[in-house]
Amino acid sequence: MSSGAHLPTKDGSLQRSASPMQEKDRLSKAVRQQRIMAQLAAAPTLRATELAVALSVSGETIRRDLLELHEQGLINRTYGGASRPFAFEAARSDRRRIMVAEREAIASAVSARILPKEVLMLGGGATTYHVARFLAARNRDITVITHDFASASALGTNPTIRVLFCAGRLHPGEGYLLGAQTIASINGYEANRAIVGATGISARGIYDADEEAGAVYNAMIERAAEAIVVADHSKFDQLAVSVCARWNEVDRLVTDKQPSGTLAAALRKAGTDVIVAGVSEMSE
């Protein structure tokens, strides 16, 4: 339990309490917040008041800590305390925090298009995770093939959705599977639609920062009758190392703002259907 034992205290002794929940001396802010995270690893939910007495600070300070940790996406706030983000949600929290409204609008627009009995392939990533959440909440009787832990977890809450998972090597930081096994798994299926995200999109196509992840998305696109790319406008004209697909392979782009310039021209030329999901159209 990441101890602050290296911190010298006023009397020169090293502090190392037997119980991690009883501190006699005041800790630095950083250490205190680490302790909070450590506590959260052990318990699914925490009370601010309990943390206050455990860490020998006032409730206000704990509340401020929780606020900061929440802004960093490391915890979920609750009334009276905090809860831990589930599975691999935390790993991508920095990206998940931003553009949430836009991504939810995109996810909502995608889920509204999916009919019962469809078979989907769902790529990993922050935006596609939102899609998984909406699919779980609003769709039924579909089959989803994915390589992303967080998405599978979300989909698993809906008993009418059949979730097929790929084989592969776990990318711990991202919470999805990669590698030759993953590609092979995908090639063993056929789907109505592939839904993938992107690190960046430009006139030349869609990109991912991770070469292996890009290969997975490419396999999904090839195996599906329809390829849907979900990307908010912050991805426009962003480049990344790996090219997953060209626009002529992509049937639809679901985004939150109308593209312009060379990107718009490329989409027109490739015949890619562009769906702009307004944040206000969430009821769709």
Per the rule left: phi > 0, alpha: psi between -120 and 50, beta: everything else, 168 is left
Q: What single-letter DSSP state applies at residue 176?
A: E
Interaction mask 26-45, a second copy, x per CB under 8 A = -----------xxxxxx-xx
Q: Is position 5 an interface residue for DNA (rule: CB under 7 A)? A: no
61 makes contact, choosing from a second copy, DNA, none, with CB < 5 to 8 Å by partner type, with DNA
Q: Is 167 among the residues that bind a second copy (CB under 8 A)?
A: yes
Tokens of 57: 């600070």
Other Cβ atoms closer than 10 A to 200: 18
116 binds a second copy (CB under 8 A): no
Q: x/- string (CB under 7 A) for DNA, residues 35-74?
A: ------------xxx------xxxxxx-xxx---------
Binding string to DNA for residues 193 to 222, with x set by CB under 7 A, is what? ------------------------------
Q: Which amino acid is at 98?
A: I
Is the distance from CB of 119 to CB of 128 less than 8 angstroms? no
Region near a second copy per CB under 8 A, out of 8-16, 51-59, 173-181, 203-211: 173-181
* Count of positions on this chain that bind a second copy (CB under 8 A): 61
Only one of the segments 60-68, 115-123, 160-168, 257-265 lies at the binding site for a second copy (rule: CB under 8 A); that segment is: 160-168
Report DSSP letters for 121-142, one per residue. EE--SHHHHHHHHHHHHH--S-
Assess contact for 39 and 10: CB atoms under 8 A. Answer: no
Which position among 31, 52, 119, 170 is part of the footprint of a second copy (CB under 8 A)?
170
